[in-house]
C-alpha cells in the first residue's frame, strides 16, 4: 500500500491510518478461518459475520463466494508451504541463499520439486483443512495428534501460566 495519494508525500497507508484514528473508517480482516466458516468446514465463532464479509468481498472482486473461498484456501496453503520451506531451507542453504533457491524453483532452464524427508505435525482448528494439501504438495507425511484442534489453545494457556 505504498501508493501516493493526491497529498504530496503522504502515502495511502498513512491517510487510512488517520481516518481509522478519527473513527471515520473501520479496518477489518477476512481470514482463512473466515473462509472455513463460509465453506462450512468449521463452526466456531460467528459464521454470519464471515458469510457477510465473503459476500461483500466476492461482489467487489466480481467472483462467487465459493471461488473466493477456494482461492483463499489455495493462497493459504501456498503461504504455509513457503513458511515451512523458508524455515527448513535456512538450515541447509543459510538465510541469504534460501530466498534465491526457493524463488527460482521454476525458471527457463529447469524445474524442480521439493519433497520433505521429515513428517509434518499439525495443530490448531484449521490444521485438518489446510495442511493435507500442503503435505501432499511437499510429498510429506502429515500427523495430526490427538486433540490437535485445541493444540494452539493449550499452548497459549500454558504460556500464560508461566508468565
Report whether pLDDT(33) > 70.
yes
Classify residue 13: in a domain, yes or no: no
Q: How far, in Å, CA of 114 to CA of 137, rounded?
A: 9
Q: What is the pLDDT of residue 10?
A: 64
Q: How do residues 75-102 score in pLDDT, each as one tens digit?
A: 999 999 999 998 998 888 888 888 777 8
Q: How far, in Å, CA of 69 to CA of 132, rounded?
A: 17
Q: What is the pLDDT of residue 1?
A: 43
Report how many domains make up the chain. 1
CB-based contact 122:131 (threshold 8 Å): yes
Q: What percent of the chain has pLDDT over 90?
A: 48
Range of the domain at 112: 31-162
Classify residue 76: in a domain, yes or no: yes
Q: How far, in Å, CA of 46 to CA of 41, rounded?
A: 13
Classify residue 106: in a domain, yes or no: yes
Of 154 and 46, the one with more pLDDT: 46
Classify residue 85: in a domain, yes or no: yes
pTM more than 0.85: no
CB-based contact 145:151 (threshold 8 Å): yes
Classify residue 95: in a domain, yes or no: yes
Q: What is the pLDDT of residue 9?
A: 54
Confidence band, pLDDT 50/70/90 cuts, at residue 45: confident
Q: Is 146 exposed, middle or buried (0-12, 13-18, 19+ CB in 10 A)?
A: exposed
Classify residue 134: in a domain, yes or no: yes
Classify residue 96: in a domain, yes or no: yes
Report whether pLDDT(161) > 80.
no
Report whether pLDDT(5) > 60.
no
Name residues whose C-beta falls within 8 Å of residue 24's C-beta, 6 or more positions apart in sequence: none
Report whether pLDDT(74) > 90.
yes
Report whether pLDDT(6) > 60.
no
Q: Over range 149-163, report the average pLDDT.
A: 72
Classify residue 90: in a domain, yes or no: yes
Amino acid at each position: 500500500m505504498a501508493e501516493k495519494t493526491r497529498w504530496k508525500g503522504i502515502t495511502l497507508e498513512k491517510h487510512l491510518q488517520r481516518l481509522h484514528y478519527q473513527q471515520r473508517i473501520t479496518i477489518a480482516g477476512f481470514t482463512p478461518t473466515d473462509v472455513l466458516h463460509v465453506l462450512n468446514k468449521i463452526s466456531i465463532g460467528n459464521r454470519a459475520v464471515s458469510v457477510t464479509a465473503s459476500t461483500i468481498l466476492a461482489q467487489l472482486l466480481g467472483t462467487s463466494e465459493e471461488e473466493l473461498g477456494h482461492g483463499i484456501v489455495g493462497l493459504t496453503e501456498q503461504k504455509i508451504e513457503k513458511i515451512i520451506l523458508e524455515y527448513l531451507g535456512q538450515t541447509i542453504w543459510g538465510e541469504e541463499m534460501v530466498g534465491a533457491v526457493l524463488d527460482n524453483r521454476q525458471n527457463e532452464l529447469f524445474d524442480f520439486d521439493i519433497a520433505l524427508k521429515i513428517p509434518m505435525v499439525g495443530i490448531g482448528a484449521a490444521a485438518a483443512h489446510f495442511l493435507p494439501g500442503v503435505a501432499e504438495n511437499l510429498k510429506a507425511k502429515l500427523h495430526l495428534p490427538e486433540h490437535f484442534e485445541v493444540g494452539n489453545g493449550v499452548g497459549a494457556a500454558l504460556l500464560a501460566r508461566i508468565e
